[in-house]
């Protein structure tokens, strides 16, 4: 049970101080999640904190590789406009 940050991360630091398990760390080229430590916030918060503040759609995946914030879910921009 662990999330993953992928290359679309913009290194904005927003998630890092929120993580109750201190699983998120600064790295190059982008922040990473220590899979050993990540609990997906179970027992600490109702919602996973990193995915709740991350402004970049698709930057955080769950353990099945599914985007926690799919395209359009945060900005309201229709995906077909994003692709264009």
The binding site for another protein (CB under 8 A) comprises 10-14, 17-18, 45-47, 49, 52-53, 55-56, 74-77, 81-82, 84
Adjacent-strand bridge partners of 5: 60
Nearer residue to another protein within complex by CB, 2 or 14: 14
Residue 56 CB, nearest approach to another protein (Å): 6
Nearer residue to another protein within complex by CB, 15 or 61: 15
Burial 30-50 (b: 16+ CB within 10 A, else e): ebebeeeebbbbeeeeeebbb
Nearer residue to another protein within complex by CB, 13 or 25: 13
From the list 46, 55, 59, the residue with the least C-alpha distance to 14 is 55
Residue 43 CB, nearest approach to another protein (Å): 13
Task: Provide the token pair at 50.
Answer: 């990193």
């Amino acid at each position: 049970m662990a999330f993953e940050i992928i290359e679309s991360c913009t290194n904005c630091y927003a998630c890092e101080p929120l993580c109750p398990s201190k699983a998120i760390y600064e790295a190059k080229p982008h922040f990473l999640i220590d899979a050993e430590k990540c609990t997906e916030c179970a027992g600490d918060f109702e919602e996973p904190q990193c995915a709740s503040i991350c402004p970049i759609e698709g930057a955080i995946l769950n353990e099945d590789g599914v985007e926690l914030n799919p395209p359009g879910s945060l900005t309201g921009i229709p995906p077909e406009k994003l692709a264009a």
